[in-house]
Structure 1
Amino acid sequence: MKDKAKSKKKSRIRLLHQYYSYTGFYSFVLGSLRKAVLPIVLFVAALWAIDHFLLDIEDMLVTVTETYSPWQVLSIFFLSESLLGLVPPELFIAWAGKSAIPFLYLSLLALGSYLGGVVSYWIGVSITKIPAVHNALELKLAKHIKNTRKWGGFLIIVGALLPIPFAMTSIAAGIIRFPFPSYLIFGLLRFARFYLYALVIFEMV
């Protein structure tokens, strides 16, 4: 019985592997990783260049923390993460690094990104009820929707971890009515992304 169970499990894993190979999932992940490396390198290089040749980033971030309340910054970030990820999260991670309580504000940013993704998911669900908006967004997000239909939770994992706009992945998940409980579980990896990026960015600022 145990051998049969193991055989079935291996067969299922083999079939999944074949499916993801055939549909190009692995190529997509490798391509996303390559694309992810360049923005990170450029962001770090830009921070270094700005800090050395234009202005003192540390002073700038301190000025932001003194000018705006943490809740104002967090609110702007939440809105950004709910609406197609308009502002790079790395800027806010750098801000958290210069705040009075870095780990707390970093965790609140991660939570804001996660909840922003939830809002985006329900935007995706809601727009399916408005034909004109649905058609426009389905056209704009055609690639994300197609990939989400093919790869489901694995694409949400990639969207949560890599510099792909998480809001777009979440809206696409909502449009195809990806199971919400599963979305919530996969989306938790958004926290891991923020903590990992902070290891680099906190050292830079």
Structure 2
Amino acid sequence: MSNTKKSRFKLLHQYYKYTGFYSFILQGLKKAIIPTVLLVAVLFYVNEKVINLNDAMVYATKNFSDFFLFSIFLISESILGLIPPDIFIAWTKNTESPLLYLSILAVLSYTGGVIAYFLGRTLAAIPSVNRYMYGKMTKHIINMQKWGGFLIIVGALLPLPFAMACLAAGMINFSRKHFFLFALFRVFRFVIYGYVIYSALS
């Protein structure tokens, strides 16, 4: 039984190696590192030279309703992750219940992925839109067909386009049950990033 498991693991490892899964992750991380470093550098500069970020977050908390900020976040997470979730995670630190608000963000991010998934399924059912989207997202769709659930997990955990992976999963009619399960890894990202950002802003 143990040998069978090892052989399956070895076959999976060979498959992901030969199909370029590992190099895809590496390239994705390289592309994500620069924007992440720039974002951290900008935040550090603003915090030191322009305005204290804690004060800015307090200002946002006092001048914008929770519903408004949560709505903006959900829209962003549903449409290709237009705004880095790290900004919203930083905002939660200065709320009355940081862990509760962080948990709400995690749930909303997961919900945004689910919305993107069903949006993909809907678009795939419209022939003209389907052809257009396939043309625009050929690379993502091919990758989803090759790697399926692992690509969803990678998109959920790493600074890669999670909503894009969810949209592609919907377009190829990826198993709904498995999608819901794999997308749950998105919650762990907020736990990890929440700890890091909270520590940095302390």
Q: TM-score range by the shorter chain?
A: over 0.9
| Alignment pair present for 1:30 and 2:26 | yes
**In structure 2, what is the Cα distance between the partners aligned to 1:200 and 1:9?**
36
| Alignment pair present for 1:181 and 2:169 | no
| Alignment pair present for 1:170 and 2:150 | no
Q: 2:83 aligns with which of 82, 87, 100?
A: 87
Per-residue deviation at 1:40?
2.8
What is the TM-score of this pair, normalised by structure 1?
A: 0.93
Amino acid at match of 2:76: S
Deviations 1:60-84 (A, max 9, x none): 1111100112121111101111111
**In structure 1, what is the Cα distance between the partners aligned to 2:53 and 2:2?**
56
Asked if the contact 2:141–2:169 (Cα under 8 Å) also holds between the matched residues in 1, the reply is yes
Per-residue deviation at 1:115?
0.4
Residue number in structure 2 paired with 1:54: 50
**In structure 1, what is the Cα distance between the partners aligned to 2:158 and 2:21?**
15
Pairs within 5 Å for 1:35-184: 35-184=31-180
**In structure 2, what is the Cα distance between the partners aligned to 1:185 and 1:148?**
16
Amino acid at match of 2:83: V
**In structure 2, what is the Cα distance between the partners aligned to 1:34 and 1:184?**
28
Deviations 1:50-69 (A, max 9, x none): 11112222211111100112
What is the TM-score of this pair, normalised by structure 2?
A: 0.94
Asked if the contact 1:61–1:95 (Cα under 8 Å) also holds between the matched residues in 2, the reply is yes
Amino acid at match of 1:17: H
SS of 1:177's partner is coil
Pairs within 5 Å for 1:8-27: 8-27=4-23
**In structure 2, what is the Cα distance between the partners aligned to 1:133 and 1:98?**
43
Per-residue deviation at 1:32?
2.4
Per-residue deviation at 1:204?
2.8
Per-residue deviation at 1:190?
0.5
Q: What is the Cα-based RMSD across aligned positions, in Å?
A: 1.3
Residue number in structure 1 paired with 2:196: 200
Unaligned 5+ residue runs, structure 1?
none
Asked if the contact 1:123–1:171 (Cα under 8 Å) also holds between the matched residues in 2, the reply is yes
Per-residue deviation at 1:38?
2.9
Per-residue deviation at 1:37?
3.1
Distance 1:25 1:186, change over 3 A: same
Q: Post-superposition, which runs of at least 4 consecutive aligned residues in structure 1 deviate over 6 A?
A: none
Unaligned 5+ residue runs, structure 2?
none
Asked if the contact 2:29–2:160 (Cα under 8 Å) also holds between the matched residues in 1, the reply is no
